[in-house]
Amino acid sequence: MNALRPLRSTLCAPLAGALLGASALLWGRQVAAEESAAERLFREGRALLVEQRFAEACPLLEESQRLEPSLGTKLNVAFCHERLGHVATAWVAFQEALVTARTAGDAAREAFARARVDALAPRVPWLRVRASAGDGGAAELAILLDGAALDPVAWDKELPVDPGEHAVAAAHRGEIFWQTTVALRESERVDVAVPAPAPPEPAPVTASSAERPPAAPRDGAREETSARPAGPRAAGRLVYEAGVFVGYLWIEANKTDTCSSGYGTCQLYAGAGSFLAGATGFIGYAAMDRLDLGLRAQIGVHHNAGALLALGPSASFLVGERFRLGSTLLFGTATQAGGAYEQGDEGDPVQTDVSLEFSMGLGAELGMQLMDGAAGSLFLQATPLFLIGAGSLAASLPLGAAFRWN
């Protein structure tokens, strides 16, 4: 028996080492699988983000962040919610990313996160839920916001919430006795008063609490269930823009028309440039998150006794976070003081007004965002255009500022 002990020790040592090595290998493969899953989810989420399929991209990016937290993924999650119109969720996420970037010493990402926090802050809606314990006591009272229990520490405090409809309910001893729906717009602050639960009744209650009529809200609590449409404001909204500009207008015309006297035929000509001032406007519909379709108009006057009027269907696209590009199919006219002389007349020309009459052309929109607020954005804007008529041409290069309401 004693002779077998060295043999047993000799066999057990390699076997234990093999078992430990196999365990380490399996553990390493499991970690690698989790890491690869996080990376795969991030790549899929980023691809959907580029395709502007934000509703599909956000859950993938959030799951990637849960499996393998990183600053870059956190910023992508925040950006995705911003594009969906979840301004409160995005604002909170950018704040968390700001703290992480500052701790890591990443100055570039810290500056980016700070800029988004500052831009979103004026747009965040705030909801305050005021609770009254009544005779039932606060210990047995629960308040639910969108189905999740609200920590008593957050009662009577303003909470950032996303735009749209939110369900507020109150339960006493595990039974819901009151509920309402509140709709919030961007930048809006709303208070909801939760009534106290009813005192216990001396006789047994035959009807369930769900069949009781809801208690009337106190202190102006809001009971409407469809006051405003819910959802992000990224698409499906009307868009308005108004702006002013100054620039340069060039008109060249050489055509035959009836003389101003009504007798004979005159040759009309004009070819000069002049300074132009006027206004531009756009009204349309947000067909997509970044694409607005509508009607653009430009009207202006210049010192060379003339005017410009053009309008037509337009498409405007937001590029990145600060730039806007667009194009317009224009219909309009332009006038300018010019000369006229009768056919075959060698005398001095007569001063007259030369018009392009009905003309067609193209316009462009080149904008750079200067400010972004809750109501809309202020842009530095150039709207060059040209019009072509019968034997005539007009071109302008206006530069100005425009405000686009959301």
- In terms of domains, do 258 and 193 share one? no
Across the beta sheet with 158-160, the strand order is 158-160, 126-131, 189-194
Q: What is the mean pLDDT of residues 144-172?
A: 92
- In angstroms, the Cα distances linking 158 to 127, 212, 234 are 5, 30, 25
Does pLDDT of 260 surpass 80? no
The verdict on residue 3 lying in a domain is no
164 and 147: one domain? yes
User: Structure pTM?
Assistant: 0.44
Does residue 218 belong to any structural domain of this protein? no
What pLDDT does 228 receive? 40
Average pLDDT estimate for 112-121:
94
> Hey, which residues does 166 pair with through a beta bridge?
182
Residue 323 belongs to some domain of the structure: yes
Q: How many domains does the chain have?
A: 3
pLDDT band at 30 (very low <50, low <70, confident <90, very high): low
**Cβ–Cβ < 8 Å for 314, 295:** yes
Least confident of 44-53, 124-133, 218-227, 360-369: 218-227
Side-by-side strand order, sheet with 141-145: 148-149, 141-145, 164-172, 175-184
- Judge if 265 and 351 occupy the same domain: yes
Least trusted range by pLDDT, from 8-22, 85-99, 116-130: 8-22
Measured between alpha carbons, how far is residue 394 from residues 35, 155, 274, 300, 306 in Å?
62, 65, 11, 13, 12
CATH code, domain with 159: 2.60.40
Cα–Cα distance, 183 to 49 (Å, whole number): 28
The answer as to whether 378 is a domain residue is yes
Q: What is the DSSP letter of 67?
A: H
Strand pairing category for 126-131 and 189-194: parallel
Task: Indicate whether 353 pLDDT > 90.
Answer: no
22-31, 170-179, 180-189: segment of lowest average pLDDT: 22-31
Co-location of 316 and 332 in the same domain: yes
Q: What is the pLDDT of residue 240?
A: 86
222 within some domain: no
Q: CATH number of the domain that 298 lies in?
A: 2.40.160.20
Q: Which residue has the tokens 């950032």?
A: 160
pLDDT recorded at residue 338: 62
One domain for residues 70 and 153? no
Strand spans (E) along 1-154: 126-131, 141-145, 148-149
Same-domain status, 142 and 280? no
Is 300 part of any domain? yes
For residue 220, report the phi and psi dihedrals to the nearest 5 degrees.
75, 25
256, 337: one domain: yes
Select from 89, 121, 153 the last residue of a domain: 121
Counting residues of the chain whose pLDDT is more than 90, the rounded percentage is 44
pLDDT on residue 342: 52
87: containing domain: 23-121
pLDDT at 281 over 60: yes
Banded pLDDT at 126 (limits 50, 70, 90): very high
In 3D space, the residue among 84, 58, 86 whose CA is nearest the CA of residue 161 turns out to be 86
Do 255 and 175 share a domain, yes or no? no
Average pLDDT over residues 19-26: 49
Q: How many other C-beta atoms can be found within 10 angstroms of the C-beta atom of residue 367?
A: 25
Residue 197 has pLDDT above 60, yes or no: yes
116 in the same domain as 146 = no
Tokens of 399: 């530069």
Q: Is the residue at 1 inside a domain?
A: no
Asked if residue 329 and residue 270 are part of one domain, the reply reads yes
pLDDT at 19 over 50: no
